Amino acid sequence: MRRKYLITIFIIIGLAILWVPLVAAEEPVKVAILTDMSGPYAGITASNVEAAKMAIEDFGGMLLGKKIEFFYRDHHCKPDIANQRAKELYEREKVDIIIDVPNSAAGLAVSEQARLHKRLMISVGSGTTEHSGAKCHRYCFDWAYNDYMLATSVGLWGADNLGKKWYTITADYAWGHDLFKHFTAALRKKGGILLGNDNVALGTADFTPYLLKAKRAKPEVLVLLNSGKDGNNSTKQAVEFGLKKEMKIIHALLFVPSIRAVGPEIFADDYVAGAWYWKVDTPGAREFADRWLKKFGHRPNWMNPANYSATLQYLKAVKRAGTKDPEAVIKQLEGHTFRDLFANPGYIRPEDHMQVGKAYIFRAKRPEEIKEKDDCFEIVGTIPPEQAYMDPKKTGCRMGGF
Amino acid sequence: MSQYLITQFLNGLVLGSLYVLLSIGLSAIFGMLGIINFAHGALYMLGAYAAYTVVGVLSGNFLIAILVVPLAIGLIGALLETTLLRRLYRVVPLYNLLLTFGLMLAIQDAVRIGYGPEGEPFNIPSALLGAVNLGFTYYPKYRLFIFAITVLASIGLILFLEKTKLGSIIRAGTEDSDMVDALGIDIGKIFTLVFGIGAALAGLAGVLAAPVQNVAPAMGMSFLVDTFVVVVIGGMGSIIGSIIAGLIIGETLTIGVLIWPPMATTLIYVFMAIILLIRPRGLFGREKFHE
């Protein structure tokens, strides 16, 4: 009798021990988008929330037998808020991964939180090369692009196709300086010369003195290493002073909403690099763009499918690993080659965690060429990933362990 | 080289014109009402958006926008004064600062919600496109137009203040509003008028800047900071001071780029510091004025 009693206790204890991992596995996979929904990039990045939702939906919404949970937070484009939100997401909401995080300082802050919490982060929006460089670590991946890719691909292409005499106008902060470094390196590689550069404070209203200086130098290409409001202002004034009759303009970053906000006649025949366009021939891209149009009334920018891809590839990695344990998932992602509507193919380099793919060179269409309101670009060049991205041996990344 | 220098000099005048229009209002409002209007940049931005609404949405004429928009922004200003600012004249100035700062954020976000964060297209009206031959150099017509309108508006304002009865009441009001009130003049209405005029000038600057700048919700913010510098250099409450300091700052920013680009934006603050050391009340500031 007593013996039987003991056996029951053992069985109960045994079940209890077994039950603990069972309960742990019951925790659903939790995905979070942390992005700028009300700051300066909101017009481009706020919709990334919808892109991630679509990826979860397309994946089937279920993973490891549980419904995938989705979170999103607004960081207002401020690094301190991003840091706080990331902490809350990892600690209170216990999310498994944070995706996007535009603004390089914000991105680096969240990457540090990911390292401390031993949870994943995929940077899509922030362009700093540090993610796959000096500040790389096992828990952080960098998706879709970085500043090196933006600068080098259009830099190489521009030196070959537009001219080898350049003048640059650079936004005077870390991002602008970083771009300047990579742009001029690409120019040197092609044997071009830089006629001059001016660093201009953020938020400058009047670019005309700088533009006139550039005009006097008589370059073949004017490179505007700024974005958003500054990019729009400087381009508008370059047109006003007739610079575009004498030279071509290359932008560091340019999206359809900017073109529509300032007017396609202002940006006509300017050049920029990007990782995707809704008319690109990647299978599934057009369907995605059509769905997006139906849902939101406009075509997606390339940050949208990049976030879709990052979310989808993470979910697939969890499925392959059979667990959401970060170490197992990271090992599934490292060295993985995939095809989706964003990258065809995309490859996640194990050396520096950079997701590399083709880079595209766009030409902004003239008003009369635009048949559909969001069809503002023509793809004029493709740069293979080996040229668009830095050699992983030279990034300065020492990956380390978990 | 000289041609290049002259073009740059003209650019400085044009940029200075926008500062003049903004700082006259800011300075006059401070002179009369004793409040520092942080919402001034937002009114400037509203002016640009109103111009976009007239020209871009309702496809009206740009000249109509120049006439109608300042009036509309002036009315909005008058409305803000009668409904909100009026209640805070007798309390610590800090409350005024908080109110106008809050107004600025509210107006900016309202525009962001209404029109979106990206901004709106606005191009130079076709009649003013192209450059004009000044004999020694070609210069964009539209920029000369900005300068001309500013000169007209400034002369009109000075004549109004110097030659009309209402103008003399306003001038008396900036000297001693309590005394004007005691003489049986409704100083409250004068306050509303001054705030309205200041707002209208900010609106006008917004219309004029719309074709050469990016029409976006935050466009007033960076401009406002420079305008404060102009008001401090010119002397709080002085219209002549605003005009002269506005042009000086415009030139400093433009010519500074030729001499030493990294210092150009810093130069105006250096300049302000020097003025404050030599003449703490600014170039045309009066003694015992709001002190």
Q: Name the residue facing B212 among A212, A216, A236 (closest C-beta).
A: A236
CA distance linking residue A281 with residue A360, whole number of Å: 12
**For an interface test with A, which of B226, B230, B257 has the most A Cβ atoms less than 10 Å from its Cβ?**
B257
Angle at B245 between CA B243 and CA B246, to 5 degrees: 65
Pairing mode of beta strands A355-356, A346-348: antiparallel
Cβ separation A229–B142 shorter than 8 A? no
Pairing mode of beta strands A359-364, A271-274: antiparallel
Q: Find residue A122's DSSP bridge partners.
A: A99, A141
Question: Which of B93, B18, B31 is CA-nearest to residue B284?
Answer: B31
CA Rg, chain B, in Å? 19
For residue B62, give Cα distances in angstroms to A92, A235, B75, B200, B204: 55, 22, 20, 16, 12
CATH architecture designation of domain A25-145+282-357 = 3-Layer(aba) Sandwich (3.40)
Question: Which of A108, A48, A78 is CA-nearest to residue A303?
Answer: A48
Q: pLDDT tens digits, residue range A319-361?
A: 999 999 999 999 999 999 999 999 999 999 999 999 999 999 9
Interface of B with A in 251-290 (CB under 8 A): 253-255, 257-258, 261-262, 264-265
Predicted-assembly ipTM surpassing the 0.85 threshold? no
Indicate whether B212 pLDDT > 60.
yes
Q: Name the residue facing B214 among A209, A213, A233 (closest C-beta).
A: A233
Q: pLDDT tens digits, residue range A203-262?
A: 788 899 899 999 999 999 999 999 888 899 999 999 999 999 999 999 999 999 889 889
Count of CA atoms in the C-beta half-sphere (13 A) of B228: 14
CA Rg, chain A, in Å? 23
How much is the average pLDDT of B25-40?
A: 89
- Residue type at position B103: L
Contacts B8 to A, Cβ<8 Å: 209, 212
Helix, strand, coil in percent for chain B, rounding step 5: 75, 5, 20
Q: With pLDDT > 90 as the criterion, what percentage of chain A qualifies?
A: 81
Sign of the C-alpha dihedral computed for residues B249, B250, B252 and B256 taken in this order: positive
CA distance linking residue B213 with residue A58, whole number of Å: 42
Taking one residue from A and the other from B, the number of pairs with CB-CB distance under 8 angstroms is: 90
Q: With pLDDT > 70 as the criterion, what percentage of chain B qualifies?
A: 98
Burial per residue of B65-74, b for 16 or more beta-carbon CB atoms within 10 angstroms, e otherwise: bbebbbebbb
**CATH number among 3.40.50.2300, 3.30.70.60, 2.40.50.140, 3.40.50.620, domain A148-274+360-388:** 3.40.50.2300
In contact, A99 and A52? CB cutoff 8 Å: yes
pLDDT of residue A9: 62
Q: What confidence tier does A23 reach under pLDDT thresholds 50, 70, 90? A: very low
Q: What confidence tier does B91 reach under pLDDT thresholds 50, 70, 90? A: confident
CA distance linking residue A238 with residue A245, whole number of Å: 10
How much is the average pLDDT of A67-86?
A: 95
A215 CA: distance to closest CA in chain B (Å): 10
Residues of chain A with CATH 3.40.50.2300: 25-145+282-357, 148-274+360-388
Contacts A209 to B, Cβ<8 Å: 8, 11, 253-255, 257-258, 264
Angle at B86 between CA B83 and CA B90, to 5 degrees: 150
Q: Where are the beta strands (DSSP E) in A145-258?
A: 165-171, 193-200, 221-225, 248-251
What integer best gives the mean pLDDT of chain A?
91
Q: Which residue from B minimizes the CA distance to A234?
A: B213
